[in-house]
Amino acid sequence: MKTYIVGNWKMNLTVGESSIYLHKLLKRLKQARGLEVVVAPSLIAIQSLSLQVDRHKIKLAAQNFYHQDYGAYTGEVSISQLRTLVDYAIVGHSERRYIFKETDKDIRAKVAAAIRNGVTPILCIGETASERDFGETKDVLRDQLFGGLSDVSAEDLKKVIIAYEPVWAISSVKGARLASPDDIATSVDLIHKQLKARFGKEVEEQIPVLYGGSVNPSNAGAYLTIPGVNGLLIGGSSLIADHFVDIIDLAKRLRS
Mark whether 93 is an active-site residue.
yes
Extract the runs of DSSP E, i.e. beta strands, from 50-201. 59-62, 88-91, 120-125, 161-164
What sign results for the dihedral spanned by CA atoms 130, 132, 135, 137?
A: positive
Active-site residue among 127, 165, 192, 243?
A: 165
Mark whether 127 is an active-site residue.
no
Active-site residue among 93, 95, 204, 243?
A: 93
CA distances from 167 to 45, 64, 158, 230, 235 (A): 27, 18, 26, 20, 13
CA distances from 215 to 75, 115, 123 (A): 32, 28, 18
Q: What is the DSSP letter of 72?
A: S
Nearest to 146 by CA among 96, 202, 107: 107
Q: Which amino acid, 224?
A: L
Q: Which residues are catalytic?
A: 93, 165
